[in-house]
């Protein structure tokens, strides 16, 4: 059912903004969520956390004149409940039904779509190069991006199409010109914002090594080859080829202090190698990834700050709230970074999570082979990113 198909609740129900709910969770408050989506949707993707008590009771259980007593027995009546759904219509109706029954209840405004609209900027305080470095965080999917600004100029690494206006507004508020929009690779979990920003006068940059995958718009953008350098004020962004996750996977070394690793290395894991050539090509890609990590990443100074394009639920933020970590810490904590090649390949192929939802259509869109409007693009990328190998098998003791 669509949100507009649900009758208005008989009682007024308070709505909670997604940002307010996240603030409560971040503050360590105990929250109880009743997710009214279908079980399959809930199993694929839901709001979780150490202080989140989440239960799934699909909305159709509340459509009868009287709610079954067995259903009500599952719902705690001794605490505040926040009901949520996909877009906010079902949750308002369910919350209203529960309110009539005496429950202390509210509902999440715009549902999981509203949750997916949260996008926060946090400064990477350990960065000690020229200028200031911010990490953008999308908690619904773990997508991360980076804004570097110095001397009146700025660059965004791994922008999301859904937040094109946000980047431009942030740059304007900071009093800087957004000069570059840079992608690390052809993403499989979200729609890139590089082309949309390029259309707004920002110089779009994609890895030269990714062009052969069939990118249709390469001639319209700048392509970055290994060793190429882009300047932002007094800061430099050096292109570092790190194939493995994809053949075109590229990292960017920001002022010799911070390495934006895209999907090659995360603070809790390494890349999965099967999203370009599938299971058949995964072993060769895993060996390519091993070489990139050993020869291009682990040769950097151990104090180099690492920041990937994603963070999973297993990732632990640094003291500044960003999902970044010194390279030396990752080497000490992640067994995969100290294994020999055969062990590494065997490990990351052994237990890969499900592939990202809609990944084939997202890849085709990011290649320029498929065209979607903004609403469809937003819908395609809802859910977890799943671009990393299994965190449980990669973590150290």
Strands 153-157 and 222-224: unpaired
What are the residue ranges of CATH 3.60.15.10 in the chain?
119-394
Q: Topology of domain 3-115, per CATH?
A: Oxidized Rhodanese; domain 1 (3.40.250)
Q: Judge contact between 77 and 102, C-beta under 8 A.
A: yes
Query: Tens digit of pLDDT for each residue in 217-270?
Result: 999 999 999 999 999 999 999 999 999 999 999 999 999 999 999 999 999 999
**pLDDT tens-digit map of 285-318:** 999 999 999 999 999 999 999 999 999 888 999 9
Domain with CATH 3.40.250.10 in the chain: 3-115
CATH architecture of 119-394: 4-Layer Sandwich (3.60)
What percent of the chain lies above the pLDDT cut of 70?
96
- pTM of the model as a whole: 0.92
pLDDT score, position 7: 67
Question: 29-87, pLDDT tens digit by residue?
Answer: 999 999 999 999 999 889 998 999 999 999 999 988 788 999 999 999 999 999 999 99
Query: Residues with Cβ < 8 Å from 307, sequence gap 6 or more?
Result: 124, 135, 144, 146, 258, 259, 260, 261, 267, 322, 323, 324
Which residues does the annotation mark as catalytic? Answer: 85
Is it the case that residue 2 has pLDDT exceeding 80?
Answer: no
As a whole number of angstroms, the distance between CA 157 and CA 261 comes to 10
Of residues 32, 217, 210, 33, the one with CA closest to residue 111: 33
The Cα–Cα gap between 226 and 228 comes to 6
Give me the DSSP letters along 38-55: -HHHHHH-----TTEEEE
């Amino acid at each position: 059912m669509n949100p507009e198909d649900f009758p208005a609740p008989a009682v007024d129900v308070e709505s909670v903004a997604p940002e307010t709910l996240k603030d409560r969770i971040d503050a360590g408050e105990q929250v109880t969520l009743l997710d009214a989506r279908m079980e399959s949707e809930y199993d694929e993707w839901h709001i979780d956390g150490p202080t989140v008590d989440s239960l799934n009771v699909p909305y159709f259980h509340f459509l009868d004149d009287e709610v079954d007593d067995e259903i009500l027995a599952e719902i705690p009546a001794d605490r505040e409940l926040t009901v949520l759904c996909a877009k906010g219509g079902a949750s308002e109706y369910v919350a209203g039904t529960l309110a009539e029954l005496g429950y202390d209840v509210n509902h999440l405004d715009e549902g999981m779509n509203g949750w997916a609209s949260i996008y926060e900027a946090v400064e990477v305080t350990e960065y000690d190069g020229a200028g200031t470095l911010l990490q953008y965080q999308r908690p619904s999917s773990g997508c991360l991006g980076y804004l570097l600004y110095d001397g009146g100029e700025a660059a965004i690494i791994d922008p999301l199409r859904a937040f094109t206006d946000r980047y431009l507004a942030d740059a304007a508020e900071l009093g800087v010109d957004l000069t570059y929009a840079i992608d690390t690779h052809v993403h499989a979990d979200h729609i890139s914002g590089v082309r949309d920003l390029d259309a707004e006068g920002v110089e779009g940059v994609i890895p030269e090594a990714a062009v052969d995958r069939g990118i249709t718009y390469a001639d319209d953008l700048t392509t970055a080859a290994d060793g190429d350098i882009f300047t932002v004020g007094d800061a430099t962004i050096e292109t570092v080829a790190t194939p493995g996750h994809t053949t075109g996977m590229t990292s960017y070394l920001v002022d010799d202090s911070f390495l934006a690793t895209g999907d090659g290395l995360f603070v809790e894991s390494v890349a999965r190698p099967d999203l370009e050539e599938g299971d058949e090509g995964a072993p060769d890609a895993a060996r390519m990834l091993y070489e990139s990590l050993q020869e291009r990443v682990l040769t950097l100074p151990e104090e180099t700050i690492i920041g990937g394009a994603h963070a999973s639920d297993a990732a632990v933020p640094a003291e500044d709230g960003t999902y970044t970590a010194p390279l030396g810490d990752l080497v000490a904590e992640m067994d995969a970074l100290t294994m020999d090649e055969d062990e590494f390949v065997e490990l990351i192929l052994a237990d890969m999570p499900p592939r990202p939802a809609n990944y084939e259509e997202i890849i085709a869109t990011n290649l320029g082979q498929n065209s979607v409007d903004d609403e469809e693009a937003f819908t395609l990328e809802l859910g977890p990113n799943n671009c990393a190998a299994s965190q449980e098998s990669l973590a150290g003791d």
